[in-house]
Each structure stands twice: as C-alpha cells, then as structure tokens.
Chains A and B, each alone.
Chain A
Amino acid sequence: MTYLRQLRAVIRKDLLQELRTKQRLATMGGFAVLVGVLFNYSIDQAIVAAQDIASGLIWMTLVFAGVMGVGRTFELEAEDGAFQGVLLSPIPRDALYLGKVVSNFVLVYLVVLLVLAVFGVFFQLDYGNHPFMLLAVLAVGALGFVALATLFGAVSSGTALGETLLPILVFPLLVPMVVYGASGTSRLLAGRPIAEVEGNLRMLAAFALVALFAGAGLFRFVVED
C-alpha cells in the first residue's frame, strides 16, 4: 500500500503541475501540429500517396515531440531543489521512476491522439479498419519510448548539456521500436489483417518491458550521488 501511495503521489503531482503550467503539453502539441502543417505543404500528394508515408511521419513526430516533453521532466523538478527533497524521502527509486513514466506516458499519449487527429485531417487518413489495434500499437510504442526517455532524461539533466543530450542518448536505442512500430502502423493504415501486426505488437511490448525493467533497476544509480 505504501508503494502504491508513493507511486500515486508522484503521478498526481506531475499531472497537476502540468495542468497548471501546460508547458510540456503546449510544446509537444504545438510541435505536432506544426509538423502536420509543414508536411502537408511539403509533400506533393499527387505524386506521393500520404498513406504510404504517414506511418513514418506519425512515429517521427511521436519521437521528436516526446523527447521535447520528457526532456523537460527533470528540469521542472530542479525548481528550488524539489527533486532533492524527494530523494531525501523514503520513496523507493523504482516507484519514483515508474510514477514519472506513467505521468509522462499520459502526456505523450495525449500528443499521439493529437498527431492522429492532425494527420487524419491533413492527409485524409482512414483509421476505420482497425482503430483499436492502431491505438494499442501506438500506446505500447509510446510506453517503451517513455520508459527509455525518462531514464535518459534523468541522465541528461545531470550533465552540463542538459536536455540537449537526451536525443543523442536515446535515439539510437529507439531504432527497434520505431522499426516495429512504423511497420505495424503502415499495415494497419493499409487495412491489412490484424494477424499481420500481432508480431509487431509483441516486439513492441517486449521492448517496453525490457526498457521498464532496465529503467526501474538503473534509476537510483542515475539520480543518487
């Protein structure tokens, strides 16, 4: 019960802070909309079918917008030493990490939904074939992304380079996730049978689980002296 209470406290505090500041949602959401607008005008849809490239665009937007948002997690924590106060408390470091993963996931997934809406409008994408499977693929992918980005966000926040280091650290590790995520999303947008995507979903889930376990185990070494 103590663990759950501590976990819930971190999630509630992070989301409440975001609700008040809207800093990260505004940054990520604004970026997602801009990407949609720019690609809408930069792609000649008479030559390139939007559906063929939409999957890659969705995942790239997710990753770039997500890095912008998750990267700021620990910057907000640095305010008046608040994170130091948290580290002096008896919260297990894995509970702290998982709480941050959950709150980051909520924000990133809201942006995913915005990306789907924006790209749906600009590229007339049809999500009607397997909408729930599409949401599931993106949810599991977003979870894996957030699990890694939260850990490396803590690493980069402790360096002189700050959040600018985060993409350099995290992008190479995201390659498998983007490969399986984008390929699964492509198939779903093309109306292929769900059975063709189940393997992708399993790989994304495995990636997310490994990232979560690694993050929970390593977080204390990253945030403590």
Chain B
Amino acid sequence: MRSAAPDSSVGAASANPPPDPDAASAAPLRAVGLVRTFGAQRAVDGVSFTLESGRFLSLFGPNGAGKSTLLRLLSGALRPTAGELRLGPELLRTREPGWQHRIGVLSHQTFLYGHLTARENLRFFGDLYDLDDLEERIDAGLAAVDLVARGDDQVRTYSRGMRQRLALARTLLHDPDVVLLDEPFTGLDAHASAVLKGVLEALRDGRRTVVMVTHNLTEGLEMADIAAIQVRGRLAYWESAEGLEAAGFPGLYRETVEASA
C-alpha cells in the first residue's frame, strides 16, 4: 500500500467547494471490506474507502485489477460476496429506487437501443426514471453533448464517439449526484473526447460525487480530487490528487503496480 488510509478527506479540502451539508446527498460513500468473487477469482478483494460527497475519484489500475467490478458493486449491478456499502452511517441498499435515482452509470457499453432514435432512447430512460419536464431535459442533454442535429436519427447510424456522447446524456438525464464512469474515453475521437471532457469538467461542481475508472493517467489525474490505484482486486494506492505531479504520476503508477503484483 503506497499511501495513507483510503479516505478522501485526506488533503482534499481545497480542490472543490465543500458539499452542501444540508443535502441528503452530502453523506460520504463508504466501502467496508468489499469482496466480490467469480468462482475462485477474487475480483474485488477487501476494498475499503471513504469518499466524501462532491469529490472526483479517478481509479487507475492494470487490466483485470477489478476496477469495473468495483464500479458495478457501487452501481448495484453486482452484489458483494462480502462487505458492505454505506452512505454515512446508513447501510446502502444499491438495489432500491432511492439509490437508483441517485446514480448515473456510463460504461464501456452505451446501454442504448440502436433501432431507436436518440430522442426515443432518452425518452424511454426518462420514463423509467419518471422524470418531469422530460422533453426539456432531452433538449438540454442533446445540446450538452452536441447531438441536437442528429437527435431524430436512429442510434445505429451513429459513430462510436456519437454513441458515447449520447450515452453520457443518458447517464446525466436524471441529474444523478453520484456518477460512475467506466473508461469513458475509450475509442473516442478528438471531438468526442473534448465534448466528454467538457461535460465531465462541469460535473466537478462540488455537488456530485464522481468515480471514474480509466487507463488514461493524464486525463484521469487532471480531473481527479483523489487518485487511487487498484491492483489484483485491492486498493494499492489512495491519495489526494492535489499534490501529485502529472509528470511523475506514470512512474508512481508503475511502481505501485509492480510492488503489488
């Protein structure tokens, strides 16, 4: 373990404005001894951390480190084999509507239907979340990802980058305060990356907690309040990103991975 205890409050106070203490969403997200196994394989192996509300966590790690599995545990897509998630002192029930309304997930897969148009996709997901002012949200979402002109085209006609931008609009449609991003920059062209980066920057408003899994050390570190490295299912590094230098981070990453492998 390279760092101090995985606690986002360590040295992270100055990166963003503090979260609103009155909001229910202000409680920190805590993982306590999370384990997820697939057969004999321990994809997530005793992960514990406390992530203060409003922080942006970039989670790095080599392939097969269990980063996506950890993200799926946070989203509720998977149940932990052992351990638990808490919001402040409360046990977090990730399969209940309260949490499902609060999270937005952007994955490798876009979760979109190819034979529906962008608007139809967003309308469908908006109905599932029972959103008010849905048409206004759809217009705003499409505008944010620069897809207004193609909003009535079927998604199967989109490029990979356009699909990913639309997936981001779907992720944020219900205004989640916890955003989980799994390799959001993978396969994107320069324009799509720039749009995505702009939207992600806007998420750093101190109100939203963001967990981003990425292999891109530069972009990940640029946006992070906290940088973490997961290796073989365990959190091998967890530190405020404030004092980290971009130039030195690849070396630190390599050392951490090699020491933990």
B78 and A225 form a contact (CB under 8 A)? yes
In the complex, what residue of chain A is closest to B111 when comparing beta carbons?
A85
In the complex, what residue of chain B is closest to A8 when comparing beta carbons?
B127
Which of B79, B112, B125 is close to A80, meaning CB atoms less than 8 Å apart?
A: B112
B103 and A2 form a contact (CB under 8 A)? no
B195-209 residues at the A interface, CB under 8 angstroms: none
* Given A9-B128, A88-B105, A82 and B113 contact (CB-CB distance below 8 Å): yes
Which of A9, A79, A86, A88 is close to B76, meaning CB atoms less than 8 Å apart?
A: A88
11 example contacts (A-B, Cβ-Cβ < 8 A) are as follows A6-B127, A13-B113, A17-B116, A20-B154, A85-B111, A86-B111, A88-B75, A88-B76, A89-B125, A89-B129, A90-B128
B127 and A20 form a contact (CB under 8 A)? no
Interface stretch, picked from B6-14, B93-101, B226-234, is B93-101
A43 at the binding interface (Cβ < 8 Å):
no
Residues of B close to A87: CB separation below 8 A: 77
Residues of A within 8 A of B (CB): 2, 5-6, 8-9, 12-13, 16-17, 20-21, 79-82, 84-91, 224-225
Residues of B close to A84: CB separation below 8 A: 77, 107, 109, 111
CA distance A21 to B113 in the complex (A): 12
A86 and B128 form a contact (CB under 8 A)? yes
Residues of B close to A89: CB separation below 8 A: 100, 125, 128-129
A16 and B127 form a contact (CB under 8 A)? no
B174 to chain A, nearest CB (A): 8
The 6 A-B residue pairs whose C-beta atoms are closest, nearest first, are A85-B111, A81-B109, A9-B127, A90-B97, A90-B100, A89-B128
B127 and A5 form a contact (CB under 8 A)? yes
A6 and B76 form a contact (CB under 8 A)? no
B135 at the binding interface (Cβ < 8 Å):
no
- In the complex, given contacts A17-B113, A88-B76, A90-B100, what are 11 additional A-B residue pairs having Cβ atoms less than 8 angstroms apart? A5-B130, A6-B128, A79-B113, A80-B114, A81-B108, A82-B112, A82-B113, A88-B77, A90-B128, A90-B130, A225-B79
B68 to chain A, nearest CB (A): 12
CA distance A2 to B163 in the complex (A): 28
Q: How many B residues touch A, CB cutoff 8 Å?
A: 32
> 0/1 per residue, B141-178, Cβ < 8 Å to A?
00000000000001000000001000000100000000
B110 at the binding interface (Cβ < 8 Å):
yes
Residues of B close to A81: CB separation below 8 A: 107-111
A90 and B111 form a contact (CB under 8 A)? no
A125 to chain B, nearest CB (A): 36
Residues of A close to B127: CB separation below 8 A: 5-6, 8-9
In the complex, what residue of chain A is closest to B103 when comparing beta carbons?
A88
B240 to chain A, nearest CB (A): 30
Dominant SS at the A interface? helix
B115 at the binding interface (Cβ < 8 Å):
yes
Residues of B close to A2: CB separation below 8 A: 130
CA distance A106 to B163 in the complex (A): 30
Which of B77, B108, B111 is close to A82, meaning CB atoms less than 8 Å apart?
A: B111
Residues of B close to A12: CB separation below 8 A: 124
B82 to chain A, nearest CB (A): 15
CA distance A81 to B171 in the complex (A): 14
B101 and A90 form a contact (CB under 8 A)? yes
Residues of B close to A225: CB separation below 8 A: 77-79
B222 at the binding interface (Cβ < 8 Å):
no
A17 to chain B, nearest CB (A): 5
B120 at the binding interface (Cβ < 8 Å):
yes
CA distance A90 to B79 in the complex (A): 16
Residues of A close to B97: CB separation below 8 A: 90
* Given A16-B120, A85-B170, A88-B77, A6 and B113 contact (CB-CB distance below 8 Å): no
CA distance A5 to B123 in the complex (A): 11
Residues of B close to A80: CB separation below 8 A: 109-114, 163
Residues of B close to A21: CB separation below 8 A: 115
A16 and B116 form a contact (CB under 8 A)? yes
Residues of A close to B110: CB separation below 8 A: 80-81
B140 to chain A, nearest CB (A): 19
A91 and B107 form a contact (CB under 8 A)? no
Residues of A close to B113: CB separation below 8 A: 13, 17, 79-80, 82
A17 and B111 form a contact (CB under 8 A)? no
B99 to chain A, nearest CB (A): 9
Residues of A close to B105: CB separation below 8 A: 85, 88
B223 to chain A, nearest CB (A): 23
CA distance A80 to B114 in the complex (A): 8
